[in-house]
Amino acid sequence: MPPTLNHDAPHDAPAPGQSAPATDTNTDTRRLIGTITAARGLGGEVKVRPYDTAMRWAEGPARLQTVMLQAPASVLKPHPAPSAPLAIERIRIANGLAIVKLAGINTRNEAEALKGHKLVAALDDLPPLQAGEVYADDLQGMSVISHDTQRVLGTVATVMSAGDTLYIDIAPPAQANGVQSDTVCVPYTQPFIAEVCPDTRTLHLAGLDSMFDPA
């Protein structure tokens, strides 16, 4: 079984979760937990599409108290830095989304201005990863290997979510003539994700070798 993602957990696939293994090369002490998709109501609440369906960070004793905002990437700021921590006044879960009220966001207009922003949490504030979980953030940079032939298919370039599904964008190795093939977008779900090994930074992909054949 591939590990579960605690960032839009792919259905039945390995799930990224919440506490990086000691051997992980991602030394950032923050993790993305979701994306603001819309305002909700008139009082400043926002709808957040989570990167993990369990959302243990949204309720109970593990509920987050603060979060940071990261603006959408742009040409001028391809890697925008997260904001200072903002207090979370309340969170509830509805229809697979987190409904979040952030301190200082009090009107619908202010909430709508945050559409597309990502929520970032300090790693120490997140619930520990459960067995078989990895962070979606930590998939980036992993080597992708064919589960069927052991062929090296490429490297995870980006991780993105759309609707209820997480996708990984894979950059194939350069061809013998030096030409770089286009990236290949694959849903992070079974049966395609056969195994994820955080210790070796490898992800095993099944049944998709033909997508990586040179044109």
Amino acid at 182: D
pTM: 0.70
- Strands of the chain, DSSP E: 4-5, 30-40, 45-50, 66-70, 86-94, 97-102, 118-122, 133-134, 143-146, 152-162, 165-171, 184-187, 193-197, 202-205
- Tell me: do 124 and 200 sit in the same domain: no
pLDDT in tens, 164-186: 678 899 999 887 777 778 899 99
How would residue 127 be classed by pLDDT, with cut points 50, 70 and 90?
Answer: confident
Range in 94-103, 159-168, 194-203 with the lowest mean pLDDT? 159-168
Q: Is residue 11 part of a domain?
A: no
Name the nearest CA neighbour of 99 among 50, 46, 49.
46
pLDDT in tens, 136-158: 888 889 999 999 999 999 999 98
Q: Which among 128, 159, 182 is the end of a domain?
A: 128
Stronger pLDDT, 8 or 51, i.e. the higher one: 51
Domain count for the chain: 2
- CATH number, residue 157: 2.30.30.240
- Tell me: do 50 and 116 sit in the same domain: yes
Name the nearest CA neighbour of 163 among 2, 45, 50.
50
Q: Which among 78, 99, 128 is the end of a domain?
A: 128
Average pLDDT of the chain to the nearest whole number: 82
Range of the domain at 155: 134-212
Q: Is residue 19 part of a domain?
A: no
- CATH number, residue 106: 2.40.30.60
- Tell me: do 84 and 106 sit in the same domain: yes
Q: Is residue 20 part of a domain?
A: no
Q: Is residue 15 part of a domain?
A: no
Measured distance CA(84)–CA(95) in Å, rounded: 29
